[in-house]
Structure 1
Amino acid sequence: MAKDFGDVLKEIRIDRGYSQQYVAEGIMGQSAYSKVERNEIEPTFRKWLAILEKLNISVDEFRYILNKESLTTKEKIINEFLSVNFNHFDDLKLLRDEISAYLQEDEDYLIRDLFYACESLIILNTTQNVEEAQFFAKKIWERMDKFDKWYLLDIRLINYILFIFPSEVAVNIGKRVSKQLEPYHSMKEAEVTLVNVNINLAILLIYNQQYSEALDYLEKVIPLCKKYQKYNQLAIAYSRKGIILQKTAESKESSEYIEKAYAILHAIEDTKLLGELEKELAYYLEEGFKHPLQLEISVHE
């Protein structure tokens, strides 16, 4: 049976060894808090946040405990989308099929966009048909472009479709993304989202031989990758920095960064990403330039 709001608060409070009086103090009366735990009343949002702070538990963890046994199918799909590695295409195909089954029963704008995102990446990496992949990506942008305000999930989708634009347009969108993320400064999810956007912008700029601009983006995100221990992103950033240094005649330093990228991926045993990294390096350093859409590495997780 799914737990109610008050049941979860009571469970956490008891596990912490706190009294109702301690939790309620400075927020509401003890009698009112007791009614919250009995599911007779619900606190305002601000009071709920204050209670969670007193219980030393995050909003995300509380929601997980509350919903882990009662997630809707839509919530499960969104969670899977946010956690799937877009470079692991078997997982992406399974998610695409799950979304397709959901849409046969219920039409939903967001879930439809997630389907377009999955379909575009699958097409791109199975047929290399850029125009067909862009066809689905543009459907996402048609809806997103109408919004004055983007939220974090919107920005993740926008990050995915950056490749449909020329680099100068993508950079302008990136600036708009940065501005939209300003209210979320110091929030981990927002900073990691910005990391992913900037790493993807860097490869578009490398493709256009705008090495200085690409390096600026990478230099900003490398410290954040370390701060949040985002090792996949750090490896990609190091590798792309190595490409830039190689192309700008800093060959010795280039090798050092590429070696760092390999070392990270070997350490975390991500063999799939390691193989994709090798292909990207070959495209840019051995075989000559190809369109970024034909590369398998795309940073979205």
Structure 2
Amino acid sequence: MTEFGKLLKYLRTSRQVTQSQLAHNLISRDTVVRIENKHQSPSFETGAEILEKLGISLSDFDKQRAAYNPNSFSELSQLFLYQLSSSGDHQTLKRIKELARKIYQEDENSTARNIMLAVEAMMKIDDDNFDVQKLKSLRCLLKPVWKDLSKIDEWCMLDLRILDTSLFFFELETAREIMHHAFRIIDKKYPTLAGLKAAFSANYCYLLILNQKIKAPFLELAESRKIASQTGRYDLVLVADIRRIVLEHLPDYKIKVNHKLAILNDLGAQKLVISLRKEINTILAR
């Protein structure tokens, strides 16, 4: 709920509800002030109760949130989410980044800022091969994103997507914390996004591999494959299989890897195939 306080104030005043009335028998008026001024983020339960007092459901709040920054923010959200589920190109990323920058400059929308930074990192990764040093050099770029979202108890759908996209750039322990907290939110609030759990797990596995945690990836890869299978993300089942084959480095690994890549290609995941080929080269060069 990155913009919870700002939108809460708009919804409260539009309904002519005072801060004292909203706080009554729930929280203190000072807490309402801190939330609306973005100095404090409520827990998921408290946030839901606050919205209930205003007669707003969580799903309605998410719709209001998308509509609050008219058209341009809605366009940005759709472009960003489409990019994550498609084989979008460099020009699309550039367009998203420019639109996010414009919205952030006009309205100080922190979600737009987070998208802008995440996309900028994606563009740099697309231009370079993956390796730990390059990821570390980009880590500072994403610091404001985590500084922002680490203060929030409950992430919205866009927050989850931003964090999944950015998981490569965090320290291992922070990435693990993000992944498990994301799992809890998805299970509780967004069960239809169960496939996103597989994406978080797959990204965390690769982060382990990049950091040369030799034993951990095999355990995590097995868990990642299980989550991907349970959530219908068969592309990520294949990713887990390919990573395991490459790490085992058996004599016939190339034949097995090419077979799996061919299946991915047939599934229409050409961009993923290209990314995996880069990844394989990086793993073998360790």
TM-score range for the pair, normalised by the shorter chain length: 0.5 to 0.7
Task: Report the identity percentage.
Answer: 21
Alignment of 1:68-83 (within 5 A): 72-83=71-82
Alignment of 1:120-135 (within 5 A): 120-126=121-127, 130=135, 133-135=138-140
Aligned to 1:268: 267
Quote the offset at 1:143 in angstroms. 0.5
Q: Please tell me whether residue 145 in structure 1 is matched to residue 145 in structure 2.
A: no
Partner of 1:143, secondary structure, is: helix
Partner of 2:260, secondary structure, is: helix
For residues 137-163 of structure 1, give each alpha carbon's deviation from its aligned partner in whole angstroms, at most 9, with x where no partner exists. Answer: 111011011123333332222223322
Aligned residues: 220
Q: Please tell me whether residue 107 in structure 1 is matched to residue 108 in structure 2.
A: yes
Q: 1:196 aligns with which of 191, 196, 199?
A: 199
Quote the offset at 1:251 in angstroms. 4.8
- TM-score, normalised relative to structure 1: 0.61
CA distance in 2, matches of 1:184, 1:146: 18
For residues 194-234 of structure 1, give each alpha carbon's deviation from its aligned partner in whole angstroms, at most 9, with x where no partner exists. Answer: 11111011011112333442233332333443455435433
In the alignment, residue 103 of structure 2 is paired with which amino acid?
Y
Query: Which 5+ residue runs of structure 1 have no aligned equivalent?
Result: 1-43, 47-58, 290-301
Aligned to 2:99: 98
CA distance in 2, matches of 1:109, 1:268: 36
CA distance in 1, matches of 2:267, 2:239: 13
Describe the shift of the 1:227–1:212 C-alpha distance in structure 2 as closer, same or farther (beyond 3 A): same
Determine if contact 1:123/1:132 at 8 Å carries over to the other structure.
Answer: no
Quote the offset at 1:78 in angstroms. 0.8
- TM-score, normalised relative to structure 2: 0.63
Quote the offset at 1:104 in angstroms. 4.2
CA distance in 2, matches of 1:90, 1:153: 21
Aligned-residue CA RMSD (Å): 3.4
Structure number with larger C-alpha Rg: 1
Aligned to 1:162: 167
CA distance in 2, matches of 1:281, 1:251: 15
Q: 1:238 aligns with which of 238, 241, 258?
A: 241
